[in-house]
Amino acid sequence: MQKILPRILTLLQCLILSGTASISAQNFIWSAEFVSFFDNWEYKYKDMPLGTLFATRLTPTLGVAFEHHSISAGISWIQPIDSRLETAKFKPTIYYRYDTKPFAMSMGIFPRTQLIEPLDDFMCSDSTIFYSPNIQGALFQHRSDKGYVEALIDWRGIVSETTREAFMVVAQGRAYLNPWLNAGGAVALNHLALKQKTSPDFYDNVTDNFMIRPYVGVDFSHRTVLDSLTLRCGYLVTLDRERSVTDWIVSHAFVADLTVEWRFLGLRNKFYYGTPAMNFYDRMGSELYQGESYYRVPWHDRLDIYAYIFRNSFVNCFASVNFYFTPEKLGWQQQFVVRAYIDQAFKKRNKSHTAISNIFH
């Protein structure tokens, strides 16, 4: 940590100097994000975890922008609520960004908030979003009035004698067929390779996890008194393979996602019915699978009931009680999340519009 911080500060200082050297051609940009995350799990099903996560994250970022290009660097300080600095984690942010209305791209280590739509929870869990706030790799996006498409690669592990190579490739998008009907989907590949010095151990085989989810959705938000009323129905197919050990293991299920919001209150229901996914979770866990662990059961229903305490262009604060219905037991979860975000344009924002992206809702 003593070696990393001086280097980051030197880099940020260089960015400041370069941004002020020719102010007519370049703009100095900055941002600061604060997130406090409380998440308490009380699951009764034997294959689901128990525990409490309580931490804060502070991410200052500085950069230089010119025309549609920008270069930014910063650091995320993730501090568990126990006041000991030795338990903190520091993760760098450094990336190039090109952004126009139809096309955008990022390269480097950049925030997940740059995604047009957050990854679904079968690809990325709530805790992953908080403790791994950045994508490490590349992102390509195209947006229009008719929909969007984006593709990314997130490199989670570089091969070494102690670390297995690991990455995720995702493509997702949506097409608006008319004002109330849309269709889309997501395709993802999780890949877990070998260490630099392979071991004869059974666990060191190359492993692949492939996911595809097409869906059809309806949006009646502007046709009712509700602020949001959306429903998506589709099919989730996952394939797992441990090379030289197993053939492809196929899981498939019907999935439905309903969201209802009115003023400061909201309800979201996610339903999964089919065969268990994440077949190698017991041995590989989150090293391979980044999604929520309840996809390991043949069916589940997650019901989130939440309320926004603050929701404007600067702060998003909500409390949520989540219920999990599984074949054996009923579990539940309590969440309280605060996200505050400011940048060089914060004074120009319309305070009646939520300019910052939500954390989980």
- 257 belongs to a structural domain: yes
Residue 361 lies in a domain: no
Task: Decide if 108 contacts 96 (C-beta within 8 A).
Answer: yes
In the chain (361 residues long), the average pLDDT of successive 10-residue segments reads: 57 54 71 94 68 93 95 96 88 96 96 95 91 96 96 89 87 96 97 71 76 97 92 97 91 97 95 94 88 90 95 91 87 93 76 50 59
Answer whether 174's CB lies under 8 Å from 182's CB: yes
Please indicate, yes or no, if residue 235 is contained in any of the structural domains. Answer: yes
Torsion of CA 344, 346, 348, 354, to 10 degrees: 140
Cβ atoms of 62 and 74 within 8 Å: the answer is yes
* Token couple for 104: 């955008």
The DSSP H or E segment spanning 20 is helix 4-21
CB 227 within 8 A of CB 263: yes
| Domain residue limits at 336 | 4-348
Q: Considering the domain boundaries, does residue 240 fall inside one?
A: yes
- In the chain, the number of structural domains is 1
pTM for the structure as a whole: 0.86
Is 29 among the domain residues?
Answer: yes
Distance CA 70, CA 82 (A): 37
Q: φ and ψ at 177, to 5 degrees?
A: -80, -35
C-alpha to C-alpha distance for 266 and 316, rounded to whole angstroms = 14
Distance CA 138, CA 165 (A): 17
How far apart, in whole angstroms, are the C-alpha atoms of residue 171 and residue 212?
10
What pLDDT, on the 0 to 100 scale, is given for residue 139?
Answer: 98
SS (H, E, C) 81-120: CCCCHHHCEEEEEEEEEEECCCEEEEEEEEEHHHCCCCCC
- In this prediction, residue 312 carries a pLDDT of 86
Element holding 323 (H helix, E strand): strand 315-325
CATH number, domain of 306, equals 2.40.160.10
Structure tokens at 5: 């911080």
State the Cα–Cα distance between residues 122 and 7, nearest whole angstrom.
Answer: 36
- Specify if 128 maps to a domain: yes
Residue 238, pLDDT score: 97
Residue 48 falls inside a structural domain: yes
pLDDT of residue 194: 77
